[in-house]
Amino acid sequence: MEDVNTILKNFYNTYEEENRFSKSNHNRLEFITTTKYIEKYLKKGNKILEVGAGTGAYSLYYAKKGYDVTSVELVESNIKKLKQGIDKDMNIKVHQGNAIDLSTFNDNTFDITLVLGPMYHLFTREEQEKAISEAIRVTKKAGIIYFAYITNDAVMLRAILMENKLLEYKDKHDENFKLYNCPDEIFYLFLIKDFEDMMKNTNTICLHEVATDGIAQAMQIYVDKLNEEEFKEWVKYHLATCERKDLMGYSSHVLHICKKI
């Protein structure tokens, strides 16, 4: 089996990450929700760190708004695309690096830290905990940290049921239908409770747990047919319900928002 870094580089060299949030209604919803929750806590003059910045959707968005942004990204092809989006008047610094080693940065440096991609691709508990601890370390006391992760049951519903792979995946999950995590599958899948449990021993308090796309990924055939007026109404419904625990498990992406104490 190839190492995880090679698998990621091969995947992102061909995947159009830069268009992910604009190509459909169900993809737009994740960006709309995430930025809404970032802006609940973002203040003028804040320093933002984005770890695993991809092609810069969030980094460039906030740099354009005048914030001091630092971006860390592992994959060279993503960095190249990110840099192509930088205008000369933006205050943005780009580093090639890994979420599990942020030693480039001092303790207590950033007001807002975004970890919106790395938890998708870290396959050992040691690496996951290291990425979490590093993000917390470089964030100022009382700073806000955002961790995004992918849920197990969204994949069961969308990729397996909708793509008619139920029988094909019979040997890829346990008796409770928890999928086995393997780097060859690219994405690590969490149960919400498991991620919450991992955060309990950190020097943070949870502010929100948010279903950033809700049922939209699974219902994309319907959501993507909505016209702009209809979609705005769906966004209102989604934002009114995205913190409800009884609706959260089928969201493809969940955002854990916490404050450093």
Q: Phi-psi category of 45—alpha, beta or left, where left has phi over 0 and alpha has psi -120 to 50?
A: left
Domain ranges in the chain are: 4-260
Q: What is the pLDDT of residue 1?
A: 38
Question: What integer is the mean pLDDT of 152-177?
Answer: 86
83-113 residue pLDDT tens: 999 999 999 999 999 999 999 999 999 999 9
What distance in Å separates the CA atoms of residue 232 and residue 7, rounded to the nearest whole number? 37
- The pLDDT of 20-43, averaged and rounded, is 92
pLDDT over 70 percentage in the chain:
93
Contact 34, 41 (CB under 8 A): no
What does the pLDDT read at residue 4?
63
Cα–Cα distance for residue pair 123/127, rounded to 1 Å: 7
Q: Can you name the CATH fold of 4-260? A: Rossmann fold (3.40.50)
**Alpha carbon distance 186, 88 (integer Å):** 35
CB atoms < 10 A from the CB of 36, how many? 14
pTM of the predicted model, to two decimals? 0.93
225 pLDDT more than 80 = yes
188 neighbors 181 (Cβ within 8 angstroms): yes
- How does strand 139-151 pair with strand 110-115? parallel
CA 210 to chain centre: 11
At 239 the three-state DSSP class reads helix
